[in-house]
Amino acid sequence: MGHATYTGILALTLAVAPVAAQELILTILPVRTSFEIDNQPVAITASGSISRISHGGGEEVFRLRVTADLADLQANMTAILRAQLDRSERCGDRIAIQSATLAPADPGALLTTRLHYERWACVKALGKQITSRLAGGDALVKVKITPTVEADRGVKLEAEVGEIEADGSLGELLRSGSLGDALRQKIRTSLESALEKGAANLNAALPPAAQSYAAIRGAAFRDAGAGRLDVVLVGEIRIPDAQVPSLLDQIKQRAASR
């Protein structure tokens, strides 16, 4: 099928931006999907665009840009971190997440967590096990989050512990001890799990004809205003010429169903 036919099909489905004759710009209409993190449902609404970069060698190459609304993830951050981080060991660490907020902080995001922590030790005396609290208190921990994309691992996060507010021995444990490292790792793992599941679900935003040909090359958080956080994924779609009519037809069907 030639370029003129592509343009003809597209004209029936979408408004085409006034660009050079050889370029096609396709709109990905908003698609809402949901997934679960530790039995906590999270919804993501994604939309975007596909714009043609080149045509040759029997394939079309499109630039892909998808923007996902993370407002529901933000609303559920406390429950998500509680499921991952809360613990109550008789002889060891006891952690209770009190609240967690995820907010835009250019060029990434800032996770602010309030928690209560206690460390308990157990000793045997006169045939009995006695528990003793070694340290404890409330703390506020801020972690800077930056998304990256790794070719073999998908969307990953860089997590840097920022401001920590805690008194005495608890503050030292969080700033320089193993507790701070463990919390940072668990926070990063929790968010990565959420973003990985979200990224997998974002595939549903693409027309089926494009899904197996799409590759994500970059990711960034974006301030969507009023405290709302988006994640923007960019990449490309390398699709055989034979599949392009199906791609355009599927976009037409979605537009018609709105």
* pLDDT for res 84: 83
Least confident interval from 1-15, 52-66, 132-146: 1-15
Q: What is the pLDDT of residues 66-114, one digit of tens each?
A: 999 999 999 999 998 898 889 999 999 899 999 999 999 988 999 999 9
Q: Which residues of 41-56 are buried (b: 16+ CB within 10 A; e: fewer)?
A: ebbbbbbbebebeebe
**Beta bridge partners of residue 159, listed in sequence order:** 145
Q: Can you tell me the distance from the alpha carbon of 98 to that of 87, in angstroms, rounded to the nearest whole number?
A: 13
The sign of the CA dihedral 250, 239, 50, 217 is positive
Could you state, in order of their start, the residue ranges of all structural domains in the chain?
Answer: 3-73+202-256, 83-198
Q: Can you tell me the distance from the alpha carbon of 231 to that of 210, in angstroms, rounded to the nearest whole number?
A: 20
Q: What is the pLDDT of residues 162-204, one digit of tens each?
A: 888 987 778 877 877 677 777 778 777 777 777 666 666 667 7
Which spans in 32-123 are helix H? 71-75, 77-85
Least confident interval from 8-22, 161-175, 180-194, 207-221: 8-22
Q: Can you tell me the distance from the alpha carbon of 35 to that of 237, in angstroms, rounded to the nearest whole number?
A: 25
| Averaged pLDDT of the chain | 82
* pLDDT for res 237: 93
